[in-house]
Amino acid sequence: MPAKTRRAVPRRTGGFSIIEIAISLAVLAVLATGILVPLVSQLQQRNVSVTEKTLNDIKDALIGFAAVNGRLPCPATVTAATPGAEAFDTANAGGPANGKCESFWGYVPARTLGITPVDSSGFALDGWNNRIRYAVSNDTVGTVQRPFTTTDGIRSATLPEVAKITSLLNVCDSGVGVTAGVNCNAAKTLTSNAAAVIWSVGANALTTGGTGTDEAQNPNPRNETSADRLFVSHTPSDSSANPFDDIVTWVSINTLVNRMVGAGQLP
């Protein structure tokens, strides 16, 4: 009888099947997402915290500058001879004696205040490396023009006239229902007597920043002929129609006067 032939049994080679690889990749993707999302959230919160601290430092520096110099500094501009320093309207003989700023809306004068961190041009930076904005009132008080940027301007205006102030820079909780450039109108008024406003344009500055109704109220220019006095501040919103992540703070006239009185700049 012929010998029986043994049937060959195929061996399974080492490695993984396509299905096993797909399952492994899916598990890794889930794990990676679970790790990355908290990290992104933590980084975002860190940037917010860093920015809030920087804005508070700037606020203190502005009040300290006024306590020493009897006025608030002019904003820095990108066209000034010394970037990052306060910029006067030198074309029209502007200077500390008359308070004529190149613009009353611009950037924090970090070089003048000694604030850090700054970029290579000397402009103060927030947690996302955006330049921090700064606006100062150019309102007339009594008969004194630009008292907040003029040396001894508030002293010249006198405290009784300062006490009559009802509206300087206005900060609202919404850009909806406002009288554009003037006051909060139907929106809630957070303050109506800010001598200066400082703000960060937030994480969305390079994407949707400034396009929503609320954020669009903040970058409006202020100069001798354009006195837009309206700003918006509220909790962040990722609404596609009206995104908002600006971080805003301000120097109220009462805080400013109190510190200047304490420093002997005002009677």
Would residue 61 count as lying in a domain?
yes
Long-range CB contacts (within 8 A, 24+) of 26-30: none
- Mean pLDDT to the nearest integer, 85-103: 96
Can you give the pLDDT at residue 75? Answer: 96
Average pLDDT over residues 13-38: 68
Question: Residues of the chain with pLDDT > 90: what percent?
Answer: 73
190-199: average pLDDT: 97
37 falls within a domain: no
pLDDT value for 87: 97
What are residue 131's DSSP bridge partners? 125
* pLDDT above 80 for 33: no
* Per-chain mean pLDDT for the chain: 89
For residues 185-206, give the mean pLDDT: 95
Question: Helix H segments across the chain?
Answer: 18-69, 110-113, 153-157, 159-163, 253-262
pLDDT at 31 over 70: no
What global pTM score does this model have?
0.84
Is there a domain that residue 225 lies in?
Answer: yes
Which distant-in-sequence residues (6+ apart) come within 8 Å of 49 by Cβ? 127
In a domain, 214, yes or no: yes
pLDDT tens track for 96-155:
999 999 999 999 999 999 999 999 999 999 999 999 999 999 999 999 999 999 999 999
Give the range with max mean pLDDT: 9-18, 19-28, 206-215, 258-267.
258-267
Query: Which 8-state DSSP code applies to residue 68?
Result: H
Phi (first) and psi of residue 231, to 5 degrees: -140, 160
Helix, strand, coil shares of the chain, percent, nearest 5, are 30, 20, 50
Residue 8 belongs to a domain:
no
Residue numbers of the domain that contains 236 = 57-262
Residue 185: inside a domain: yes
- Residue 13: CB atoms within 10 A of its CB come to 5
| Whether the predicted pLDDT of 3 surpasses 70 | no
Residue 2 lies in a domain: no
| Residue 144: inside a domain | yes
State how far the alpha carbon of 103 is from the alpha carbons of 49, 154, 227, in Å.
29, 20, 10
User: At residue 235, does pLDDT exceed 80?
Assistant: yes
pLDDT at 209: 80
Split at pLDDT 50, 70, 90, the class of 23 is: confident
**How close are the terminal C-alpha atoms of the chain, in Å?**
127
| Domain count across the chain | 1
